Amino acid sequence: MDGTPADDAAESGAAETGADPSDEGARDHEAPEAAPYGIVVAVARDGVIGRDDDLPWHHPEDLKHFKRTTLGHALVMGRKTWESFGAKPLPRRRHLIVSRSVGADADAVLPEGAERDGARWFGSVDAAVAWWRAHPVGGSAARPGANGANDASHAEAERLFVIGGGQIFAQVLDESGPLPDPLVITWVPAVGRQDGDVLFPVDRDWIEKRYTTAATRPGEDEGLEFVEYRLIPR
Ligand SMILES: NC(=O)c1ccc[n+]([C@@H]2O[C@H](COP(=O)([O-])OP(=O)(O)OC[C@H]3O[C@@H](n4cnc5c(N)ncnc54)[C@H](OP(=O)(O)O)[C@@H]3O)[C@@H](O)[C@H]2O)c1
């Protein structure tokens, strides 16, 4: 992930659309309880999200969208994603980094919740989420997406977004646990699976059986599509 901190946060609203009432699969699916966080990700139409510890594309419009979506909120990410944007915090967002080098045992480099390089460090996603719940800022720790992912009320309550990478997405999209809500996904043109080394763990079909499309708009750049999905309640 490169360039995000320097990008302008141009404000523009997503076009609201209703959920597709004809989606029988979605209606019938028994969705598990929602997790207290959402996801923000750019996914190529062939499922690729990363290559050589970086994004396999450069879409400035998506970087602006990422900034607009996440500004004022807290971000959970794997150690490799943190390093992919220079191991420096993005402005005005709390950073919660997950690494196996963190924990209570004697081999751990850092204790749970330690602060280093402007970020907090945790030995698991669950530990990061528990810390976030215990340390609210800007009012109560509201569920992400409670006012819509593009809502401008960032100052009122910080939301929590998992932003990658592949290993972390695989853990939070595991159906044996609560699923993230919302999914803020930018669909980008396919890059070729043979050229990507990190894939998003689920495909669009999987998503659209468990989530409704709450908002969608095409990008100005060719082939970009910005979609917000909301978990279908039981
Ligand atoms: N397209 C997008 O929107 C997007 C978003 C984010 C990232 N990416 C791309 O994805 C790639 C990085 O993804 P990745 O899958 O290689 O790495 P990652 O998920 O960002 O980070 C992996 C690291 O997280 C830690 N980790 C993972 N599972 C853990 C667990 N259960 N407990 C404790 N720590 C755990 C480990 O850190 P330690 O090794 O320190 O133990 C592991 O090496 C890059 O190419 C990046 O550009 C794309």
* Local confidence pLDDT in tens for the 234 residues of the chain: 444 433 333 333 323 233 333 333 333 445 458 999 999 999 999 999 999 999 999 999 999 999 999 999 999 999 999 999 999 999 999 999 999 999 988 888 999 999 999 999 999 999 999 999 999 986 544 444 433 333 444 456 999 999 999 999 999 999 999 999 999 999 999 999 888 999 999 999 999 999 999 999 999 999 999 999 999 986
Atom of ligand 1 nearest to the CA of 100: 41
53 lines ligand 1 (CB under 6 A): yes
DSSP symbols for 141-191:
-PPTTTT-TT-S-TTT---EEE---HHHHHHHT-TTSPBPS-EEEEEE---
Q: What is the pLDDT of residue 17?
A: 30
Q: Could you tell me the two tokens for 37?
A: 């966080």
Closest C-alpha among 223, 228, 229, 225 to residue 191: 223
162 lines ligand 1 (CB under 6 A): no
Q: What is the pLDDT of residue 138?
A: 67
User: Which residue owns the Cα nearest ligand 1 atom 24?
Assistant: 78
How many whole angstroms separate alpha carbon 91 and alpha carbon 68?
Answer: 12
Q: Could you tell me the two tokens for 49?
A: 């999200």
CA of 16 to the centre of ligand 1 (A): 32
In a domain, 104, yes or no: no
Atom of ligand 1 nearest to the CA of 1: 47
In a domain, 206, yes or no: yes
CA of 25 to the centre of ligand 1 (A): 31
Q: Which domain holds residue 196?
A: 31-73+129-231
Instruction: Quote the number of domains for the chain.
Output: 1
In a domain, 6, yes or no: no
How many whole angstroms separate alpha carbon 168 and alpha carbon 164?
Answer: 6
Closest C-alpha among 9, 10, 11, 18 to residue 215: 18
How many whole angstroms separate alpha carbon 120 and alpha carbon 129?
Answer: 11
Q: What is the pLDDT of residue 156?
A: 64
CA of 164 to the centre of ligand 1 (A): 6
Q: Is this model's pTM higher than 0.75 or not?
A: yes
In a domain, 202, yes or no: yes
Give the residue carrying structure tokens 């990658």: 164
Q: What is the pLDDT of residue 104?
A: 85
CA of 86 to the centre of ligand 1 (A): 14
In a domain, 212, yes or no: yes
Atom of ligand 1 nearest to the CA of 197: 45
CA of 119 to the centre of ligand 1 (A): 15
126 lines ligand 1 (CB under 6 A): no
In a domain, 45, yes or no: yes
Residue 182 burial class via C-beta count within 10 angstroms: exposed 0-12, middle 13-18, buried 19 and up: buried
How many whole angstroms separate alpha carbon 215 and alpha carbon 12?
Answer: 13
How many whole angstroms separate alpha carbon 153 and alpha carbon 203?
Answer: 31
CA of 19 to the centre of ligand 1 (A): 32
Q: What is the pLDDT of residue 233?
A: 87
Whether the Cβ atoms of residue 120 and residue 114 lie closer than 8 Å to each other: yes
CATH number of the CATH domain containing 52: 3.40.430.10
In a domain, 145, yes or no: yes
List pLDDT tens digits, range 117-138: 999 999 999 999 999 999 998 6
In a domain, 192, yes or no: yes
Q: Could you tell me the two tokens for 8?
A: 């302008």
List pLDDT tens digits, range 154-195: 456 999 999 999 999 999 999 999 999 999 999 999 999 888
